[in-house]
Amino acid sequence: MVKKADLSRRIIDTALSLAGEKGWRATTMADIAARAEITLAEIYRVFPAKSDILKGFTRQIDEAVLAVGPDGDDGESPRDRLFDVMMRRFDALTPYRSGLDSISRDLRADPVAASVHSCALRRSLAWMLEAAGIPSDGISGILRVKGLAVIYLMVFRVWLTDDSADLSRTMAALDSRLRQAEQFSNSLPGRRRRSGGKTSGTGSPEADEAGITA
């Protein structure tokens, strides 16, 4: 008997492959079952709906990124740590790029499905912040997640067409957006002391930089 984790990955990989070939909307559960050489009942036990396959895929990518452990190098700024975490995510996504291109186009035409996926994405990005050592809870955390979501979606569009071996275009776009977010955060009222222009708040530059997407 196939283990549930192995079956889940098999279904996800097959679904993403088919999405790249014929489009996500045109891919049926029957197509996935036939290609994966399993029964519809086996798919149903793991993923009762197609949207559940996307949730499972998102979780699979989250686990791949988080398995590396928290990025807590004291010599790096929060922005640098977040850059490393997000690039690990794009690296993990790369084998599925063709399928994700199809899925992203179909989601734009389906507001309900897009809304469901948006909730899952925000959850994932909260974990990416935590992996970078940046708090994701409370009002500040919610704002950071929303800000990171905007950055992620902009960079995702670049990544979809980035055919460089080292994802150099993706890295450049991500670095640029994170720097812009950091500069914006530091320019907000109350972020600087009135005298000397030093960062205010906690008194710790690193703690203040943690609000880069707030």
pLDDT in tens, 107-163: 888 888 888 788 899 999 999 999 999 999 999 999 999 999 999 999 999 999 999
Fold of 51-209: Tetracycline Repressor; domain 2 (1.10.357)
Distances (CA, A) of 146 to 11, 96, 126, 150: 30, 25, 9, 7
* Residue type present at position 40: L
Fold of 1-48: Arc Repressor Mutant, subunit A (1.10.10)
Q: In the chain, list all ranges with CATH 1.10.10.60.
A: 1-48
Q: pTM for this one?
A: 0.82
CA distance 119 to 181: 22
pLDDT given at position 110: 84
